[in-house]
Amino acid sequence: MTVTTFKKRLKMSLIVTAGLLALTAVFLAPPLFAAETPVAAAAVTAMSDPQLKWVVIAAAVAFSVGALSAGIAISNVGSAAMGAISEKPEIASQALIFIALAEGLVVFGFITALMILGKV
């Protein structure tokens, strides 16, 4: 693939992406602005609660720490697993189990965030 072909494909993909984004905005954005006044007032009142701010921050921290730790674990376990699989291909299923265990950290963070938000 030459550089000019790559540039043409890149421009075309950006144009298509922008077009799809514009179509999505036209069809999906109007219902967002159709909220009634009491609902909007209730949302503003709920967000003005000072303790709600800390609850939301705690849920975000719980999920983000789980996601970041899972990313670090998967990078380390995945690279070791690929090295082991390249030397001994029959242990591929065992290596995938360890990668799935590391992925479980995201699930635990997500569940913790849901439990924190469920207390509100």
- Residue written as token pair 């905005």: 25
pLDDT tens per residue across span 1-55: 688 899 999 999 999 999 999 998 888 877 666 655 565 555 555 556 778 888 8
Angle at 62 between CA 56 and CA 64, to 5 degrees: 100
Report the topology of domain 45-118. Answer: F1FO ATP Synthase (1.20.20)
Task: Please report, for the chain, the start and end positions of each structural domain, with discontinuous segments joined by +.
Answer: 1-34, 45-118
- 90-116 as b/e, with b when 16 or more CB fall inside 10 Å? eeeeebeebeeebeebbeebeebbeeb
| pTM to 2 decimal places | 0.56
Residue-wise pLDDT tens digits, 82-106: 999 999 999 999 988 998 998 888 9
